[in-house]
Amino acid sequence: MAVERALRTSAPHALLDAVQDTLTVHYTARKVDLLMADYAMTILQPVNALPHTAAPVPIHTSAPGRAFGAQEPYVEAGGRGGLCTAHLPVSVRGDRIGILSVCLPADACDPATLRELADVAEVLGHEIVVAERDTDLYLQARRADRLTLAAEMQWQLLPGRSCSRPEYDIGAQLEPAYAIHGDNFDWSASADHLTLTVTNGMGEGIEAALLTNLAVNALRNARRAGLSLSDQACLADQAVYGHYQGAVHLSMLLLRFDLATGETEIIDAGSPKMWRMRNGRAEPVALDAQLPLGMSEDTPYTTEHFQVSPGDRLLFVSDGVYDVASPTGERYSERALTRAMTNSRLLPPSQVPRAVLHELSGHRGPIAADDDALIVCLDWRGRP
């Protein structure tokens, strides 16, 4: 494919120029834009207008946002001069990055061309992920505001904000996106297993970010060494205690799913909680609580077992969600979360965290958030 060759030989910061030149030659494109989703997942921002001089495009009330939400091409017809604009999702293995908008002659917007342009957008997404190792351009385009240093450190830890495989779909979000503190999530899949971690560190600002970085990298180090789930928790616990000597700790929920059977090992070491929706009914999952990481020296951790079934939806939340108070002092708690899960049951996992956070902001009212809010949604399909 000519576009793929052009992207692979392009300079990292010039991917949009490469795709624009090639689409102009091969598809008579009149205009090509790349819009990146911001950290809060509420707007799309043009890459070719940095620093941001062009108005951002709202995700929820725009044609590009429609394509972004549905993750399907969307065509705006009836443009001036007999033109149409195709909005194409730019994503990598389910992780939604942005939108490629291509303005074409109306007679060129046929199904075959749209399929080819959708393939171009997918290739562009992969090239953006690779290019981000060598340029800040695409990370800058995602920012509607300046990140705090703590938020910068936390976002660099994340594997993505959504992921899709035949066995499952995952979506996750952190709020406030531009000033997060100690909450984080991580996942990694092999041929046979999915490991998911939800963490909530003590403190604020840089200290919270440093604690989370230490714990997450200790967990990754143990996981990549092939250690068992309990040994992963023990190694991370030793790393945190060895550095802080019990002065601070980090809460964690650590899970390992067998992709073939749905059998799941879980270690509950603190405040992140899990809810399950099965057959239309949402309810909290009670787990055996163990000590948070770093609270005492040489804490032993044991796994408990849980069975996830095809069709199950799991929701993981930090205390910045379920412990939020309304202006009258009422906690968000269990009843509100089960209602939010029910109301968002028809949405894909990539959109559920934003929907729940929207309900949370309504519950909190005008009061400013005093803690991070983290939500991870997992839809389980399993293997046939």
Residue-wise pLDDT for 283-299, tens only, equals: 999 999 999 999 999 89
Residue-wise pLDDT for 67-101, tens only, equals: 999 999 999 987 677 899 999 999 999 999 999 99
Q: What angle do CA 304, 294, 194 make, to 5 degrees?
A: 40
Listed residue (366, 365, 347) closest to 356, CA to CA = 347
Share above pLDDT 90 across residues of the chain, in percent, rounded to a whole number: 78
Residue-wise pLDDT for 7-19, tens only, equals: 999 999 999 999 9
Reduce the DSSP state of residue 284 to 3 states and report it.
Answer: strand
The better pLDDT of the pair 44, 333 is held by 44
One-letter amino acid for residue 103 of the chain = C
Does the pLDDT value for residue 324 go beyond 90?
A: no
pTM over 0.75: yes
Its sign, for the CA torsion 358, 205, 98, 194, is negative
Listed residue (218, 227, 231, 242) closest to 295, CA to CA = 242
Give every CB contact of residue 61 below 8 A, 6+ residues apart in sequence: none
